[in-house]
Structure 1
């Protein structure tokens, strides 16, 4: 009887814990974008936070300085760049009348060609004239709501990042000490933390740095050259250069080389070969400032070491498609967590010792028999104590 009472008590407490976990999970999901950005910002400002420790400053002061000196300015710069890119995308769509093409294609696909579009337009115009005041009020309320929501999201990002800098390591240490008798969680945390730092702070910061440098370079170039050889939609082209940096070596070239070649052809066809000089300067500056420096210096310093490059590129592509813009951060985080869970936690769950995380390059090419390594000569999967 006593055992049944203890069991019921444990089940009741377990249900309470599950309910609280569900509520916390729901709240996190409602602010999932802000939480993901906070994780990214945490790994971006943590090197600055740690470097300030040499001056003997307390943790709270260091966290505040790291956010003020780098975190918030970086978020504002990225937000400003995204706003410029969004405006240029809208201009691009309007210039090439893509909206009309999409509407016409939709009419053709859905078989509504029999509708009198002129009559429908007149009806909509009449309804719009009657409800113009209401629409204006709704639009104003929507704008105020959007600005307020953005400020709340920004506040959540800054606050979560601040407390992750202060208490994050202590929280992880408490979880490990309390729930990890086997040592598997400790090994998992030690593997995930540096890889997340390199993956987020490396690849994604490289995208934003390349995009910002590209946008600034193309706008500066357009300021000094005649309209004939101006870079069309410089913010959009700069943003594409940033996204192209996800493909090592050739990615950025796929953006600025066609632009330079097109401007050179425009200069020749316009009968002004002297304009090839600024186009050549643009090619040289793009090759050095936008392409060479970010790709070979920033990537070499802060790129991930263990996560497979191909899977990482797929995560960058799939993330925004599935989750929206914050998927660019979320899916790489999930990829790092999943790959390390497969190599560290899964062996423990299956009852074996976790092996080291091997890389694809360590295995021979199956198509070349002469490179096949006998299984007895291969490096053992289980690490030694020194590892």
Structure 2
């Protein structure tokens, strides 16, 4: 009996030692993941954004690795580059706008930090762009060579991690999830949770979020093209910033985008009227039509109407979109909706299992049932 007790104690000790080793490993992985949190969150978004394209390529009989590569090259990388360009333009225009009103530099720095994606210093990027157009830009770049190399290499590392994570989530993600569920989910509740969360994330991230950025990009193209053709007296002020606001406004169905471009068009019309040159109203009217069609109707009709879901309450999603960037910075725009969906489905699937062992979950009532 004493020998069996000693063997039991040794076995428990070995298990505790292995458990401590695993705890250290998981702590290190968590620390690394936290250091790349923005990239991880954006990789999840990009995965759900390109996954429909990855799946649509099955019809051509291509292997999954080739499909993953084509999906990232055809959509993922161009979208990331357009997003980075749009963020840089918006950051620069916000800086210019605040400089006009002599806003203190501390507020500018906080705002730029809030729009920081993957630890890319947008304020420093603006400084480099400004120096590049000055006569002594070559001397400035040479003097700050190490700083420029550090900035660019850091951005490239983040970009590489993003692409690699997205690629392997497309290739091996479903198999990894299936292996984890088959190995550790005896009750089946985790499988139900994954099946509830996965389509909801797909609809929310690929629908609503993509709609935001497509609308913003359409606004950038529309407003900058208009400024190239229209007289300076009725040019759109800060077109990149207004396009970004239009993208954010698209989160509010029907009226959100109109709350952005209609006041801008009204302001330009008032400006044209005050100059006494009524011919200036013609390009303003053209801006109204272009904004209504290109920025408002087309993205809303072809994206929201076809790929956006409504399983999660629109009001709760809107609050998540607003609160996320305030709490977490720019990547909070993706993280907050993800957390919201995880919590909502956790309440409907996991809470009954925790409280009563129920594996089938409770039926969720909808607001329409109480009207």
Partner of 1:172: 177
1:56 equivalent among 53, 61, 65:
61
Secondary structure at 2:211's aligned position in 1?
A: helix
| Distance of 1:86 and 1:102 partners within structure 2 | 13
| Distance of 2:107 and 2:301 partners within structure 1 | 40
Q: CA RMSD in A?
A: 2.0
Partner of 1:364: 370
- Greater Cα radius of gyration, structure 1 or 2: 1
CA offsets, 1:281-308, max 9 Å, x none? Answer: 2112211221122223311222233212
CA, structure 1 residues 357+293, in 2 after alignment: closer, same or farther (shift >3 Å)? Answer: farther
* Residues 1:264 and 2:274 are matched in the alignment: no
Secondary structure at 1:307's aligned position in 2?
A: coil
CA, structure 1 residues 335+138, in 2 after alignment: closer, same or farther (shift >3 Å)? Answer: farther
How does 1:212-227 map onto structure 2 within 5 Å? 212-227=217-232
Partner of 1:355: 361
Partner of 2:118: none
* Residues 1:276 and 2:274 are matched in the alignment: no
* Residues 1:327 and 2:332 are matched in the alignment: yes
Partner of 2:312: 307
Q: Is the 8 A contact 1:343 1:354 kept in 2?
A: no
2:101 equivalent among 96, 99, 102:
96
Partner of 2:13: 8
Partner of 2:247: 242
* Residues 1:85 and 2:90 are matched in the alignment: yes
Moved more, 334-343 or 158-167: 334-343
Displacement of 1:141: 3.1
Displacement of 1:140: 4.2
Displacement of 1:359: 4.9
CA, structure 1 residues 272+100, in 2 after alignment: closer, same or farther (shift >3 Å)? Answer: farther
| Distance of 1:299 and 1:276 partners within structure 2 | 32
* Residues 1:199 and 2:204 are matched in the alignment: yes
Q: Is the 8 A contact 2:250 2:256 kept in 1?
A: yes
CA, structure 1 residues 256+60, in 2 after alignment: closer, same or farther (shift >3 Å)? Answer: same
Displacement of 1:179: 0.5
Partner of 1:253: 258
| Distance of 2:365 and 2:97 partners within structure 1 | 43
Q: What 5-or-longer segments of structure 2 have no aligned partner?
A: 109-139
| Distance of 2:179 and 2:105 partners within structure 1 | 58
CA, structure 1 residues 28+357, in 2 after alignment: closer, same or farther (shift >3 Å)? Answer: farther
TM-score normalised by L of structure 2: 0.86
Q: What 5-or-longer segments of structure 1 have no aligned partner?
A: 104-134, 366-387
| Distance of 2:17 and 2:84 partners within structure 1 | 47
| Distance of 2:295 and 2:229 partners within structure 1 | 18
CA offsets, 1:358-378, max 9 Å, x none? Answer: 25324315xxxxxxxxxxxxx
Q: Is the 8 A contact 2:188 2:359 kept in 1?
A: no
* Residues 1:25 and 2:30 are matched in the alignment: yes
CA offsets, 1:157-203, max 9 Å, x none? Answer: 00000000010000000000000011101111111111111111111
Q: Is the 8 A contact 2:65 2:171 kept in 1?
A: yes
Q: Is the 8 A contact 1:199 1:303 kept in 2?
A: yes
| Distance of 2:353 and 2:42 partners within structure 1 | 31
2:321 equivalent among 293, 313, 316:
316
| Distance of 1:317 and 1:30 partners within structure 2 | 24
